[in-house]
Amino acid sequence: MRCWRTFDIEKRYGFDKVIVYSILLAVMCFLFSYALLQSLFSETPHFKYFPVFLAGLAGIYPLHKLIHLLPVFHYRTYMKCRCKFICSCLPIFSIHIKEPVPKKTFMLSLILPFLTINPILLACVGLFPHYTHYFAVLIAFHTGLCLIDLLYVKALITCPQQAVIEEHDRGYEILIPQ
């Protein structure tokens, strides 16, 4: 195997810029989704169950990470999971696989949370139209979380089909057979 390309989002865009883009995407997603969903389901907003909303907001990130694991679960013997805290209160989970993963499996692992959580939240809007504002916030928050995954998918689309992805300290190496 030879290295076709090395890709590191934080090095390429900068950590602060990725955070700003993620927040901007979340805000734009909220504005668009709330306006669209409120025009489709013009129900009076209810503000009951705010603690349930906060629990949902807190649970989206761990659920997102758990769904990332589903396509690569058979690599569990090669996985290393870590949790570090930013600002001593925000947990950041990282999952590292010490074995090369095929491109399609890796891309599926990256995109699967976006393709499962957001449609479920959209279906909940249809079931509970009085809480459109809560679900619009959850959709926007999760879409902002997915930005870095979508950037990696964008980078992986152009690589050869037979490529495998290997994770290193400096990002991801895209390896292709010689």
Band (6; pLDDT cuts 50, 70, 90): confident
List C-alpha distances in Å: 141 to 26, 35, 56, 66, 136. 6, 16, 11, 17, 9
Domain encompassing residue 51: 10-147
Residue 173 lies in a domain: no
Band (15; pLDDT cuts 50, 70, 90): confident
Residue 99 lies in a domain: yes
Residue 98 lies in a domain: yes
Examine the pLDDT at 13 and tell me if it is beyond 90. no
Per the listing, tokens 């879409």 go with: 143
**By mean pLDDT, which of 19-23, 24-28, 143-147, 172-176 is the weakest?**
172-176
Residue 39 lies in a domain: yes
Of the candidates 117, 116, 115, 77, the residue with the CA atom closest to the CA atom of residue 96: 77
Please report the pLDDT score of residue 44 as a whole number. Answer: 83
Q: In this predicted model, what pLDDT tens digit does every residue of 46-55 receive, in sequence order?
A: 888 999 999 9
This model's pTM is above 0.85: yes
